[in-house]
Amino acid sequence: MDCIIVGAGPSGASAAYHLAKKGHSVLILEKASLPRSKTCGGGVSPAITQWLDLDFNQVIDNTITQVEFTWQMGDRVTAELNHEAPMWMVKRDKFDNFLREKAQEQGAKVQDKTEVQNVKLEGNNWQITTNQGIFNSRYLIAADGVNSQVAKMLGFKLNKPSLGGNLEINAPIPEAKKHTAYFDFGTLKNGYIWTFTKSDGYTINGGFFKGNGNSKELETKLKEYAKNLGFDLNQSQYQEYNLGVWQGNQNLHTKGALLVGEAARLADPISGEGIRPGIFSGVQAAEAIDQALAGNDKALAEYTDIINEKLGKDLVLASRLGGLFYQFTKIAYKAGVKRPAFATIMSKVLTGELGYSDITEAAINRLKKSLIPGN
């Protein structure tokens, strides 16, 4: 086998799709029984189509064209997003399954209910021990998500993850609000609450992006928030999951192996968006392994450079902006989020038309000005 990928999430499936498309033998090992779901808001930027030439229509459950912001559930602003469909809503079981099937159509093999328990480099080949026996491959990709054991087995030290959680609520959505996403600041300290509308209800998500998140506080705040909106909690399901947000550039390769997605801590440190950077890293990992198989012995090191250059450059700014935003959330809400231009900027960030490098300086200056008394 040319490459074994551990994990059938969006990062692993994207890497498998491209490796198989280039004619390489590739096997995904996945511990869950597929299709599996994942605690997630399911907001996906259509920007992913620049890296995956696929028709996603069958897995787009809803689209978001309007956003509503609140400060502690009050001081409401609503804005139209200026693009046709700046954000897709997906159900993770269907979306992830679709990507995995597309990889299989290209020739990738997938084995589920197979948990990787150990990895060992024997000469130039990986020996991968699982609960279903031993597998061998030339290259290895750790796409096993935020709680990656494979990254640890490879000797990487992962940053402590943040905490996220959500409430899935089965409830009819009024026609006028079917395409609205809600963002609430101030209710959850050091983080925010984002609510996405799906075809059959709402996903109310919360995450901490600064400091240490407390599980009890997260659940209590999300439930209070849902109750205040009039939702019946008996129709809801609460789930928690770690969130692997970017905290600094790091080495993402070792001899014969790469880290991708949340195993590489690539989620956005302001918003928690992890699917788009995960897919990007999967695609880049496939490119690097393709080149390594062709004899380029610097290709894996170049993967680290590309991710740090293409994502890290933007994420370092996101991290700076997020640090200030979550420290001075109330002022940031009044000075930034409530501005009429904010929704336009946000829709461009979501579609990938703008990066943090285009907006951070102005946003930090505006925030600093607002911190001066009298402004």
Ligand X SMILES: Cc1cc2nc3c(=O)[nH]c(=O)nc-3n(C[C@H](O)[C@H](O)[C@H](O)COP(=O)(O)OP(=O)(O)OC[C@H]3O[C@@H](n4cnc5c(N)ncnc54)[C@H](O)[C@@H]3O)c2cc1C
Interacting residues toward ligand X by CB under 6 A: 6-12, 29-32, 36, 38-43, 115-116, 143-145, 149, 164-166, 205, 207, 241, 243, 261-262, 267, 272-276, 278
Of 86 and 367, which CB lies nearer to ligand X in the complex structure? 86
Taking each helix axis as running N to C, give the angle between helix 10-21 and helix 92-105, from 0 to 180 degrees, rounded to the nearest 10.
20
Least Å distance, CB 141 to ligand X, is 10
Least Å distance, CB 327 to ligand X, is 22
Of 286 and 335, which CB lies nearer to ligand X in the complex structure? 286
Q: Which of these, 153, 149, 141, lies nearest to 256 by C-alpha position? A: 141
Of 247 and 370, which CB lies nearer to ligand X in the complex structure? 247
Least Å distance, CB 294 to ligand X, is 26
Of 8 and 257, which CB lies nearer to ligand X in the complex structure? 8
Of 145 and 336, which CB lies nearer to ligand X in the complex structure? 145
Least Å distance, CB 182 to ligand X, is 13
Strands of the 162-170 sheet, one edge to the other: 74-80, 66-71, 180-185, 191-198, 201-208, 162-170, 236-243
Of 199 and 365, which CB lies nearer to ligand X in the complex structure? 199
Least Å distance, CB 335 to ligand X, is 26
Residue linked to tokens 């491209």: 18
In angstroms and rounded to an integer, the radius of gyration of the C-alpha atoms of the chain is: 21
Q: Which of these, 20, 98, 19, lies nearest to 287 by C-alpha position? A: 19
Of 263 and 337, which CB lies nearer to ligand X in the complex structure? 263
Least Å distance, CB 207 to ligand X, is 6
Of 7 and 336, which CB lies nearer to ligand X in the complex structure? 7
Least Å distance, CB 72 to ligand X, is 20
Q: Which of these, 296, 312, 9, lies nearest to 150 by C-alpha position? A: 9
Least Å distance, CB 272 to ligand X, is 5
Q: Which of these, 154, 179, 367, lies nearest to 253 by C-alpha position? A: 154
